[in-house]
Chain A
Amino acid sequence: MDYFIELLFSGLTRGSIYALIALGYTMVYGIIGLINFAHGEIYMIGAYTALIISTVLSIYGLPPLAILALTSLAAALWAAAYGFTVERLAYRPLRNAPRLSPLISAIGMSIFLQNFVLLAQTSDFQPFPSLIPEFAFMEPFAAVIGSKDLIILAVAALVMILLTFMIKFTRTGKAMRATSQDRKMALLVGINVDNIISITFLIGSALAAIGGLLIASHVGQINYSIGFIAGIKAFTAAVLGGIGSIPGAVLGSFVLGLTEAFATGYVSSDYEDAFAFALLVLILIFRPAGLLGKAAIDKV
């Protein structure tokens, strides 16, 4: 039973991290109908920025909590800046191009960013400092859930609540919903669509960076290629829940996280990554619209 609970929490932790990345995919897809292949790379850049900033800060001897706060801020800031720049450079000029063009451009961007970090930093795995402190009151439960898992769950929940609030009740959120429903109509009622798309990229990238920071301090090491697998898994989660739907992305992430945790726990850990892919293929065969998505009807 303990093993089961351990796997359950491990699945929830995984799920909440996937959710942070999947939200970026699903928001961008909802608004411009593009799979942002470079999103996994943004996540990786967020994690790398966190590694660099936190190491520099720890050399200057700041207290751990200040390091955590400043590092999160820096990671989110730079990841958002990268997301913004990628959109401006590689996607915006292609907004009216055939469907294949922005997709290829996105793949190119992903390869470019990955190799940019490889060349600018190193190809080796680098140890990631444990930014999250251990809590004393968690000691009795250490066997089933660690302090880090708790923090990850709490941060993910907080971020999702804030995001939902923002999209439901703020002016920007309203504009985002309008843009995703009908871009031309949104333009007609005076929404600056370009700005809304930029904001979407900024938010999605910042979330991915927070996810990157959390997962990196959970796993304890990073390198330039972590974005690829994480990106695909988060995408799988987004598709599982129904791409374009924000609650769907969260639900899909938890389903994927739990599936992976139990599959690796009870079946085999060799094929950890293959489970996600297999799940993706299965959903697309049997329910291409996802769990919460609506089937799209092509109108001519």
Chain B
Amino acid sequence: MSTLKDIRKAIGIGLWFMFLTFPLLVIKVNPVEKTVIWRWHTMFLVGVASFGVYLLSRIVLTRRDARQERIRLGQEQETTKSNLRFFTAPQFRLLLAGTGLLFVLVFPALFSTYQINIMITALMYVVLGLGLNIVVGVAGLLNLGYVAFYAVGAYTYALLHLHFCLGFWTVLPIGGLLGAVFGILLGFPILRLRGDYLAIVTLGFGEIIRLVLENWNEFSQGPSGIADIPRPGFFGIDMSLETAIIYLYYLMICMVIFTIFVVNRLQNSRIGRAWFALREDEIACQAMGIDKTRTKLTAFALGATWAGMAGVFFAAKTTFINPASFTFIESAIILCIVVLGGMGSIVGVIVGAFVLILVPEYLRVFADYRMLVFGAVLVVMMLLRPQGIVANVRRTYPQP
């Protein structure tokens, strides 16, 4: 009975989407020459696809519900836990980490410079994702202007090199520090705001930074950007382009390990606990005697620090920066990494960064659909698995 009803509903949904996408997908006009291209086949495809997706989701969801019902009635054991026991065992984790580290270390020997470059980008996004994870995942403050701090870092290096000939190593801490300063600057006005206002203001802040960089020609050379930024040096030794890239790759690895270490320690610290408390319930958190202002500001500042440092790396990697690299899309990608991987989970963010950066790189055929998929990923993850691919396991303490 229910299947017949489902099919009828699926047909209805198919027809609805055919209607919905009719003008945009079927008709393509050229308003100047007054010509119209009709693409009827897309309408048919949309109908069939939405019909199929609906039926599939019904089947999957019915099964899941039935299984949960059985578990509730005690007819079936929760199998996931025993299946996962092997994966959560410390030996397995050690093995995985060891293999991962080995692979990472020999990576430059096995692959071409092009691959190494892609890998550096992915690692950069790991750092960015971990930084944003502090703000969004751990402290629960939705920051949509994260790319602004990234831009601050990149421009810090570019401008300090341009005017004062400062090197990579001097600028790296300065970039992080300036990121933190901007984080606090942004944090102050929005301390009192709740989630959604915060999102919009941070978005506006990100756009303001970009607009300033684009329009203030005397300061940032405007849209034409800054070129000839040097790659990081190694005690003044001249390196060929390939060696320099490999060197940067190893630096990036160190950076990622450093980030993971610090973020992990932070999460288990007093301030990390305060962030978790803030995320769960602001009022309760205040009632427990946590200084809300300070907690929020440290979250912004520490999140921005990583973006600042990643920005310095970005400038050093591409040797050319302009404001076009720091659009809202970039913030959205970083947010997508955090959401897909699992908010608050370090392993999750790393997985998310690799999936979202490497998959589009290697599936160039679908490059056009990249942002479309990113948008869909955000929605679908929220609907089906809000905790992300790798859920953050809350630390529990045994009862005394």
Contact = CB atoms under 8 A, between A and B. Distances in A.
Given A103-B142, A228-B328, A284-B201, 9 more contacts: A45-B24, A56-B29, A81-B19, A81-B20, A97-B382, A112-B376, A115-B369, A115-B371, A120-B21
Interface of A: 34-35, 45, 48-49, 51-53, 55-56, 58-59, 74, 78, 81-82, 85, 89-90, 93-94, 97-105, 107-122, 126-129, 228, 232, 235-236, 239, 270-271, 273-274, 276-278, 280-281, 284-285, 288, 298, 300
Contact of B190 (A49, A270, A284): A284
B211 A100 contact: no
A162 to B, nearest CB: 25
Contact of B375 (A49, A74, A110, A273): A110
A108 B377 CA distance: 7
Interface stretch (B119-127, B191-199, B261-269, B300-308): B191-199
Interface of A is mostly: helix
A107 B335 contact: yes
24 contacts: A35-B200, A49-B24, A52-B24, A52-B27, A52-B28, A81-B19, A85-B20, A97-B386, A99-B195, A103-B195, A104-B339, A109-B378, A110-B375, A111-B374, A115-B371, A116-B24, A120-B42, A121-B24, A232-B204, A239-B197, A271-B215, A280-B204, A281-B205, A288-B192
Contacts of A117: 24
B201 A281 contact: yes
A139 B238 CA distance: 72
B205 A284 contact: no
A56 B24 CA distance: 13
Nearest to B28: A121
A127 B375 contact: no
B59 to A, nearest CB: 17
The range of chain B's interface size is: 35 or more
Interface in B214-234: 215
A104 B200 contact: no
A23 to B, nearest CB: 17
B237 interface: no
A85 B18 CA distance: 12
Interface stretch (B31-39, B79-87, B172-180, B357-365): B31-39
A280 B195 CA distance: 16
B32 A127 contact: yes
Nearest to A277: B204
B207 A100 contact: no
A98 B339 CA distance: 14
A277 B382 contact: no
A35 B203 CA distance: 13
B239 interface: no
Contacts of A115: 369, 371-372, 375
B23 A49 contact: yes
Given A49-B24, A280-B200, A128 B378 contact: no
A295 B22 CA distance: 44
Given A115-B375, A235-B200, A285-B189, A104 B382 contact: yes
B253 interface: no
B375 A111 contact: yes
Nearest to A45: B24
B165 interface: no
A111 B24 contact: no
A90 B380 CA distance: 8
The 5 closest A-B pairs by CB, nearest first: A108-B378, A112-B375, A111-B375, A277-B204, A108-B379
B383 A105 contact: yes
A120 B378 contact: no
A119 B369 contact: yes
Contact of B382 (A59, A102, A300): A102
B130 interface: no
A284 B193 contact: yes
